Structure 1
Amino acid sequence: MTLTTAPNLQIAEHRCPDCAQPFRRITGFVHRDGAPYAVFYASCHHHDGNDVLLDAIFGTWEGDDQSDHVTFGCRIGPVPGQPGPAVQLIPAAVSFEAAPLFGHKLSREEAQGHPRFDDFRELVQHVLSTNTIIGSHLSAAPQS
């Protein structure tokens, strides 16, 4: 089964509510074998080095029913003592207001035990290996 990102990425500039620094948010739609599969939001911040807060929503994408949606979240960025960026689970979609689109926003613990956890890991790997904007952000020298 193959994941692909739709070519119509949405890129928007925002200000971080915590540090007031500008950041870029990328919204992408991912397909599995050509069928709608997930939506991701990648927020490229400049906190402790360059990091990305990535939220991914899985569920049914036909019609208006969002009752089966579930959202995972992770931070991708520097971790002391580790070369290169690391992926760490975090509570999902904390930067977003509650909305039906997100469905159930999983905690770190809920995410680890969720049946779609491997789907999320695969999506994160896909996004990191195919999105040049995110890759450039993670590899850039931190802003001072």
Structure 2
Amino acid sequence: MTLSIAPNLQIAEHTCPDCGRPFRRITGFVHRDGAPYAVYYASCHHHEGNDVLLDAVFGTWDREDHSDHVTFGCRIGPVPGQPGPAVQLMPAAASFAAEPLFGQKLSPSEAERHPRLEDFRELVEHVLQNDTVVAQHIAAQPA
């Protein structure tokens, strides 16, 4: 099965409520074998080096009912004592207001036990390899 990111990425500039610095949020739609599969939000921050808070929503996309949606969250970025960026599970969609689109927002412990965890890992890897805005942010020298 093949993942692809739709070409119509949405990029918006925001101000971080925690540190007051500007950051970019990329909204992307992912297809699996040409069919709608997930939506992701990649918030490119400058906290401890360049990091990305990535939330991904999985579920059914052909109707307004979001009751089967589930959201995973992670931080991608530097970790003391480790070369290169690491992926760490985080509370899902923590910086977003409660909206039906997100469905069940998973905690890290819920995500670790969820049957779609491998789908999330595959999506994160795909975003890191194919979303040039995210990849360039992670690779850039800290601001």
Corresponding residue for residue 53 of structure 1: 53
What is the deviation of 1:132? Answer: 1.0
Q: Which secondary structure does the structure 1 equivalent of 2:50 belong to? A: strand
CA RMSD of aligned residues (A): 0.4
**Matched position secondary structure for 2:120:** helix
C-alpha distance in 1, partners of 2:94/2:47? 16
Post-superposition Cα deviations, 1:93-143, rounded to whole Å, max 9, x if no partner, equal: 000000000000000000000010000000000000101111110111111
SS at match of 1:109: helix
Counterpart in the other structure of 1:35: 35
1:82: which partner in 2?
A: 82
Q: State the 1:26 CA deviation.
A: 0.2
Question: CA separation in 1, counterparts of 2:61 and 2:3?
Answer: 16
Which ranges of structure 1 fall in alignment gaps of 5 or more residues? none
Q: Which runs of 5+ in 2 are unaligned?
A: none
Partners of 2:9 and 2:131 lie apart in 1 by 10
- Please tell me the residue identity of whatever aligns with 1:22: P
2: CA distance, partners of 1:40 / 1:105: 13
For 2:131 and 2:7, the matched residues in 1 are separated by 11
What is the TM-score of this pair, normalised by structure 1? 0.98
Q: What is the one-letter code of the residue matched to 2:74?
A: C
Shift of 1:63: 1.2
Question: Which residue matches 1:6?
Answer: 6
* One-letter amino acid of the counterpart of residue 44, structure 1: C
Report the secondary structure of 2:46's partner residue: strand
1:21 counterpart residue number: 21
Partner of 2:69: 69
**Identity score, percent:** 76
How many Å separate the matches in 2 of 1:132 and 1:68? Answer: 30
2:93 and 2:74 mapped to 1: Cα distance?
Answer: 9
- The superposition leaves residues 1-24 of structure 1 with CA deviations (integer Å, 9 ceiling, x where unpaired) of 000000000000000000010000
Name segments (4+ residues, structure 1) moved above 3 Å.
Answer: none
Map of 1:130 onto structure 2: 130
* Amino acid in the other structure paired with 2:8: N
- Secondary structure at 1:65's aligned position in 2? coil
**TM-score normalised by structure 2 residue count:** 0.99
